[in-house]
Amino acid sequence: MSATKLWDKGEQKDQYLEQKVHDFTVGNDQVLDLLLAPYDVLGSLAHIQMLQKQGLLHHSEFLKLRNELLVIYKKIESGNFSIRPEAEDIHSEIEIRLTERLGDIGKKIHTGRSRNDQVLLDIKLFSRAEVKTVTIKVKKVFNQLLELAESHKDKLIPGYTHLQVGMISSFGLWFSAYAEALVDDLRMLHAAYTMAQKNPLGSGAGYGGSMPLDRRFTTELLGFDDLNYNSVYAQMNRGKMERSIATGLASIASSISKFSMDACLYMNQNFDFISFPDALTTGSSIMPHKKNPDVFELIRAKCNKIQALPFQFNTILNNLPSGYHRDLQMIKEDYILSFAELNSCLDILSVMLDNIIVKDEILSDEKYKYLYSVEKVNQLVKDGMPFRDAYVMVGQSIENDDFEIPNNIKHTHEGSIGNLCLNSIDQMMKQVLYLFKFDQFERRIEELLKD
């Protein structure tokens, strides 16, 4: 094994034992780090600009490093980049490439920082970009749900409590309930996102350093809202941020998992409220009539996995003291991959919503007759009868099998089947989206990459 580790001091080692440790400790980092590669370059671009400003790099050295970093960035963006097998991670790979091209100047890229604050920074930059992608996809599903709510607001369905027929609901109420749920889910995600908007660069291995760094300058260059001031806390923030964002992702996953469960029930022949084109369902190898809701079942399962992540991360973090520990690597893989998992669920859910078939005249079935019992009670109350007396009277009519469905069903209060408040829900979503201010960091990144 060649000496390509950033911490290698050139001493002789047992190659067999070294390889064993390398294989075990590196794990899947080389694969995962390809996803972090562009962010490692961005962090380095900001870092060297700060080093030059502070007199720790000559201007000519800065220009050479910057040009090479931009070349590497373009290779990453084009898919023409890989991490050599003997390199530990993306940080090693980039520093090795710079050293191969620029000699000792390449080695100066590490001045004033540790792999610890590099990893912290990469994961935060990655998280910002991925949160934006998730947010855009959530907004698309939100829009579809509101459109479906408006289109089908007059189509009535049963509302259930304890999985028993309860009261009158509607497709408008059902669809818009999940739309409003996504608003609150994004509120949770935004709260976690603010942790990703604090710059850890310059905190080193968790204890700062004697180099005259300007951490506010890199904060500005990278479009962060603020910085992690305390260098120990910057390191403690690793894992904590991932757990917090995973909680936001889990909240979104919870909503679309619940919607998927509803969809599985509503597709069932005993419900028969909705259906989908054959291309979006699957069949059985033995039962020719089957149209299975595999898509929704897999969304449900994948989202339940995502909901477990905060608990998983917490068990890893739970008894760690301050400072860096390699345990934190175990959070990295599931965290990074969780975004792709949730995005795939949101994408296929969007396809399903585009093609959902909503049934009509569902409540005309005799089995839904008693959905109107509360309506009858309320009608008697409005006519002057005390509620408890009306409740008993309607209950007796049901027992005597002489209950009659009341006429003139009218719901007017906010959030009822007759007043869905779709515009208000839409306005809430706009307010939440405004909080993210993704354009702030995007503008800074564009400036950092200008030739």
Q: Pick the range with the lowest mean pLDDT from 205-209, 218-222, 266-270, 325-329.
A: 325-329
Nearest Cα neighbor of 432 from 151, 125, 179 is 179
What residue spans define the domains of the chain? 15-110, 115-152+168-364+423-449, 366-399
Average pLDDT (254-271) is 96
User: What does the alpha-carbon distance between residue 51 and residue 75 come to, in Å, rounded to a whole number?
Assistant: 25
CATH level 3 topology of 15-110: Fumarase C; Chain B, domain 1 (1.10.275)
Average pLDDT (173-193) is 98
Say what the pLDDT of residue 409 is: 83
Model confidence over 141-164: pLDDT tens digits? 999 999 999 999 999 999 999 999
Query: What residue type is assigned to position 278 of the chain?
Result: D
Cβ 252 vs Cβ 134: under 8 Å: yes
Percent of the chain clearing pLDDT 70 (strictly above):
95
- Alpha carbon 377 to chain centroid, angstroms: 45
- Alpha carbon 25 to chain centroid, angstroms: 27
Say what the pLDDT of residue 11 is: 66
Q: Could you tell me the pLDDT band of residue 175, with boundaries at 50, 70 and 90?
A: very high
The DSSP line for 248-290 is: HHHHHHHHHHHHHHHHHHHHSTTT--EE--GGGSB--SS-TT-
Model confidence over 324-348: pLDDT tens digits? 888 888 899 999 999 999 999 999 9
φ and ψ of 227, to 5 deg: -125, 160
Cβ 264 vs Cβ 297: under 8 Å: yes
The DSSP line for 152-176 is: TTT-EEEEEETTEEEEEEEHHHHHH
Nearest Cα neighbor of 137 from 299, 340, 323, 287 is 340
Average pLDDT (26-35) is 78
- What's the CATH number for 115-152+168-364+423-449? 1.20.200.10
- For 172-218, the three-class secondary structure string (H helix, E strand, C coil) is HHHHHHHHHHHHHHHHHHHHHHHHHCEECCCCCCCCCCCCCCCHHHH
Assigned token pair, 164: 């028993």
Percent of the chain clearing pLDDT 90 (strictly above):
80
Residue 209 has pLDDT above 50, yes or no: yes
Number of C-alpha atoms within 13 angstroms, CB side, residue 162? 2
Say what the pLDDT of residue 2 is: 47
* Antiparallel, parallel or unpaired: β 226-227 and 274-275: unpaired
User: What does the alpha-carbon distance between residue 38 and residue 117 come to, in Å, rounded to a whole number?
Assistant: 16
Average pLDDT (64-69) is 98
Q: What separation in angstroms does the CA of 210 have from each of 2, 104, 227, 237, 362? A: 31, 22, 18, 22, 73
Say what the pLDDT of residue 323 is: 85
Mean pLDDT of the chain: 92
Helix axes 29-53, 115-151, angle to 10 degrees: 110
Domains 15-110 and 115-152+168-364+423-449 share a fold: no
Q: Could you tell me the pLDDT band of residue 6, with boundaries at 50, 70 and 90?
A: low
Q: Could you tell me the pLDDT band of residue 3, with boundaries at 50, 70 and 90?
A: very low
> Which residue's entry shows tokens 């595999």?
294
Say what the pLDDT of residue 214 is: 97
Q: Could you tell me the pLDDT band of residue 422, with boundaries at 50, 70 and 90?
A: very high
Residue 289 has pLDDT above 90, yes or no: no
